[in-house]
């Protein structure tokens, strides 16, 4: 099984000049966590998602500390007024300013094998991987594969293999499960 068999090829995308507010609305509408950003030619530019959004809403001190892998930021005050101010500052800005860039992202191709895909997810900070096809010097977005796609692909494959190797089902019950009547 390869990425091509389980990826989503009809992907909701952003353009580099779409705003952070546009991105959040699309994520909300479509119940998705990550949006690939593509240019006018369909070339992959980067990824904008809930991880990046969360970083934008953190105070500067939280962003600085999280770079050093300090996991517990519970000491930061919960000041929704300040968070609203940060939101207002960033909501109208283009997503191109805040992308997870290609250099830091894990991505795959349509022919990436299932074990390699699992390895990429294991090393990725995101819950989805852009699926890229190289055309000359351009990396075109072919789709996206999420952890859920992988789980569904794995489960479906295992179920299909189980059904083909399992004995045929019969309508009768074993004696120890039968109650002696035909009313079930």
- Sheet with 100-101, strands from edge to edge, namely 34-38, 44-49, 100-101
Which of 101-105, 153-157, 167-171, 175-179 comes out lowest in average pLDDT?
175-179
For residue range 130-161, list pLDDT tens digits in order: 999 988 888 999 999 988 888 887 777 777 77
Question: Exposed, middle or buried: residue 145 (CB in 10 Å: 0-12, 13-18, 19+)?
Answer: buried
Contact 36, 95 (CB under 8 A): no
Burial 50-75 (b: 16+ CB within 10 A, else e): bebbeebebeeeeeebeeeeeeeeee
Give all domains of the chain, ordered by start, each with its CATH number.
3-164 (3.10.580.10)
Distance CA 1, CA 90 (A): 41
Phi/psi for 52 (5° steps) reads -65, -40
Half-sphere CA count of 155, side-chain side, radius 13 A: 6
Position 1 confidence tier, pLDDT thresholds 50, 70, 90: confident
Contact 145, 128 (CB under 8 A): yes
Q: Distance between terminal CA atoms of the chain?
A: 41
Position 183 confidence tier, pLDDT thresholds 50, 70, 90: very low
What is the pLDDT at residue 154?
77
The closest of 14, 53, 51, 52 to 30, measured between CA atoms, is 14
């Amino acid at each position: 099984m390869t990425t091509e068999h389980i990826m989503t090829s009809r992907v909701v995308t952003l353009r580099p000049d779409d705003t952070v507010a546009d991105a959040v609305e699309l994520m909300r509408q479509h119940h998705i966590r990550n949006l690939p950003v593509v240019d006018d030619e369909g070339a992959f530019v980067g990824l904008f998602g809930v991880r990046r959004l969360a970083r934008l809403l953190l105070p500067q001190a939280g962003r600085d500390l999280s770079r050093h892998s300090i996991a517990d930021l519970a000491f930061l005050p919960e000041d929704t007024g300040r968070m609203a101010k940060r939101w207002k500052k960033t909501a109208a800005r283009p997503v191109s300013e805040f992308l997870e860039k290609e250099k830091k992202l894990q991505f795959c191709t349509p022919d990436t094998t299932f074990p390699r895909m699992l390895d990429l997810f294991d090393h990725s900070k995101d819950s989805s991987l852009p699926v890229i096809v190289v055309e000359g010097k351009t990396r075109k977005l072919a789709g996206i594969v999420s952890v859920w796609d992988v789980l569904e692909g794995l489960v479906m494959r295992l179920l299909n293999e189980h059904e083909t190797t399992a004995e045929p089902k019969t309508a009768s019950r074993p004696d120890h499960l039968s109650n002696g009547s035909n009313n079930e």
